[in-house]
Amino acid sequence: MAITRHLQSRMEETKTAIEIRPARREDADDIAAMARALSVSDGDRISRFSAEAFLRDGFGDIPAFDTMVATKGDVPAGYAVYYWGYDTDSATRGVYLADLYVNERDRRDGVGTALVTGVARHSRNAGGRWMFWSVLKRNKAARRFYRHIAPELRDVLVCAAFGASFDRIADNSQ
């Protein structure tokens, strides 16, 4: 009986409508907490992203990134951070999806798909023609998710430089 009630309760929770909207300043604490959870789940270094960084870099005259938030009811369920880019081969603009995170309790409820769809629609409505993202090779669940929504996985090697490596590049005098 208790299991039946639990399953029924879980089914009712998943029926809650998912709303995708641009992030607001008052979302700062929730988004920073989810970004930290993403960093932990990826097994990467500790995230320095904070509510203050979100407010400083995500708003203002020239924001460094845009953010979509998924809510179920009034409760945050996930977020997507993205920024604009340009492809000279196709002479088109589009977005790079930098972060996609869905709270554990909301996974497999369509939240991730709704966020990706929301970002893609926003891009297309603003003249964008593509969306690019990367995924950690070891994150098999994310790879399955992305393969499901966009089966075209390009053979692209993503390069990155952070910290001392970045400084060496920036300081190179040649």
The residue with greater pLDDT, 166 or 58, is: 58
Confidence of residue 6 (pLDDT cuts 50, 70, 90): very low
**pLDDT tens, position by position, 21-47:** 999 999 999 999 999 998 887 776 677
**pLDDT tens, position by position, 150-171:** 766 667 777 788 888 888 888 8
Name all contacts of 110-113 with Cβ < 8 Å and 24+ positions apart. Answer: 110/18, 111/18, 111/70, 111/72, 111/77, 111/78, 112/78, 112/145, 113/149
Q: Which one, of 86, 79, 112, 80, lies nearest residue 98 by Cα?
A: 80
Range with the lowest mean pLDDT among 65-74, 82-91, 113-122, 141-150? 141-150
Confidence of residue 85 (pLDDT cuts 50, 70, 90): very high
- What percent of the chain clears pLDDT 90, i.e. is strictly above it? 52
User: What residue ranges do the domains of the chain occupy?
Assistant: 2-171
69 backbone dihedrals φ, ψ, rounded to 5°? -120, 140
Predicted TM-score of the model (pTM) = 0.81
The pLDDT of residue 7: 43
CA gyration radius, the chain: 18
Instruction: Indicate the average pLDDT of the chain.
Output: 86
CATH of 2-171, one of 3.30.980.20, 3.40.630.30, 3.40.190.10, 3.10.20.30: 3.40.630.30
The pLDDT of residue 39: 84
